[in-house]
Structure 1
Amino acid sequence: MLRIGLTGGIGAGKSTVARRLAEHGAVVVDADELARRVVAPGSEGLREVVAAFGVGVLTPEGALDRPEVARRVFSDEAERARLNSILHPRVAELAAAAFEAAPPDAVVVHDIPLLVEKGMSSQYHLAVVVMAPERVRVDRLRRTRGMTESEARGRIGSQATDEDRRAAADVLLDNTASRRVLLAEVDALWRDRLVPFERNVRLVRSGRDATAPVLVDHDPDWAAQAARIVERVRRVAGPDALRVDHVGSTSVPHLPAKDVLDLQLTVADLATADALAAPLAAAGFPRFEGIDSDAPQPWDPDPDQWRKRVHTSADPGRAVNLHVRVVGTEGWRYALLFPAWLRADEAARADYASLKRATAERFGRDRDAAAYTAGKEPWFTERLPAADRWAARVGWRAGDETGRT
């Protein structure tokens, strides 16, 4: 099963996206529809809302007067929190039951307005966010819901900011243009990413084939992409995750790299790493069986210092290598030391960039990039004393920093 979190501010077009995904075959779990169910006439939820807010929130027919409730809570944060404390646990229970009832090969889309506000992005394989400029949303709310401009802006202002939504989005759908353009984007998302992603999760396989080493300029968005994946890994690993770091070349600003995010999950021992294999695979990170150690260094005769487990991403839209290493080992320290040094030392960074370009050009036909990787190894061995001197000079020690993303 593939779990997709779908969100967007009021008037952005989230419901349009949800309907289109349902047409393609997605199982849509609509949080707003569930919220209406938990306050249906005669329900315990409605009785509790009336007890909290009074009979003035009921229509003459005894149903919840939703516009009246909105008028009361969207201008009062304390009242909104009071209402949410009644509704959200009940809605969450119904949503969990809907996920449980979905077929094992389903793409389940959780249409949830407060995904960003509640920090829920890491619960899903992907977070899809629909956005539109505030002026466009205000106009839509005036035309389709009869709101005044003041009411529309008030509702928008009570929700997450655009900046927060962008930070949470693995997929950002811009609904500024026509409905036709938006639907075409949704169609492509379904065909090119969601369907193969679900299949890869179900079959426990990587989302990408082996490719030749192609370097690109540093993408400033890599850090945000890594941060979202780090949170997913932390959630899945729970207390077994001693830390999760964004490592490798994509964690170093101004350094060219392959468009593959390298993350390091730190665990207490390899038995823990092996126990995490199944939950990581279910979360979209299948184990890659071809690598179980880093290249041992000639100065270190202990191969256990370089043992690890490697997982890749089942998502065809975001390549990831997740290295699971044991705290305190040399391989673990290497993975933290070299990016920290390269971030701090411009000359070392330029030296390594030059090596990367030359090695990528030399092994440009290497389909699995193994020769490219091996071709860089002597550089790390030769530069380790310089990296260690930098660490001693600035007082850097592996594990002192919080998990860097």
Structure 2
Amino acid sequence: MTRVLHILDHSLPIHSGYTFRTRAILKAQQALGYEVRGVTGLRHTDDGPAAEEADGLLFHRTAGAANGPAGWREWREIALFTQAIDRVVNDWRPDLLHAHSPALCGQAAQRVARRYGIPLVYEIRAFWEDAAVGNGTGNEGSLKYRLTRKLESHVVREADAVVTICDGLRQDLVARGTPEEKITVMPNGVDLSLFGQPLERDAALARALGFEIDGQSCPVIGFIGSFYDYEGLDLLIAAMPALTARRPDARLLLVGGGPMDAALRRQADASPVANAIRFIGRVPHHEVDRYYALCDVMAYPRKRSRLTDLVTPLKPLEALAQGKLVAASDVGGHRELIENGKTGTLFAPDDATACAVALAGLLERRDLWDGYRRAGREQVETHHDWALNARRYQDVYQMLSPMTVQKGLNAAA
């Protein structure tokens, strides 16, 4: 039985888009007959044992702390991570290392792969330097940005195979000189065992939130996720006056939190339609479906940037799996997931008016809703079901299997 060790930034029991994709990959690989484990770096900040089981998956942790000025701190972090991976490899003897971005994971895994002669797959979910810009912790073109990009390119060059989550990332790597045949696209997916059975609408919860008028349900626009600036939630709030001018009963539900939370709440309080906007805050993962069930349309008004043009988000797929209507900004990452006029509605990015018009148009054409929902669900089942997509990893791993023998001989020589 093939053993695959996944090298990760962080993992369950932390809840994030990153950990949910990881869980889906590892569970699907287990179902295909692989033995899988994970090892996380210093950015897994939850307290826990050196080896921790979460949801039936085993994760090893990296001990220690990396301090000092930028650059030295990251280099020390890679060194400690390398030691942790080395210990697991020496004890468990995996057949293959599968590192997931950011590049720190790939660099640490590369050192161990070279030492033991084990094939290395490097999977990119987003470019770390662009994610830092999107999160407000970095600046495009800065020294740190350029050094991070250089490290990423180095890891890609040294890996035996590269996986990306979407075509935007693949095209960027090809433009950097990576051979096309080295790259496999593994689209973002949904575990339909978790998101495939929507809950019934909780009428008591809807009433408590003011989503009924004279006994009639209000149409609800929803966003469930992290509150980063690039998500464009300020534009969504700014769109509400124009939307309610056409649909006075429309309501906006915002579930989650993040760096923009306080600013968004201030903006909503100052809005002339503040009474139509509800903030819930963060909720336990097992309660998320209750809030999905209240929403008619899930809105994703991402702002245009390198990050949003290159990277496909996970949340719209979860919404389509839940049978929700989807309205999203017309950026590259959304265009890979949503077909305008068939599985959802796309509108001009960075434009609150365009957002309001798109949302109003969806709410006013209830006759189209069933068609959108069927097409969206079919899109997920056909192209984004992890139970099917994970089989693509088999092709990548099998391509590298002869390498396992040859590298082992070279390492022993």
TM-score (norm. length: structure 2) = 0.30
**Bigger share in strand:** 2
TM-score (norm. length: structure 1) = 0.31
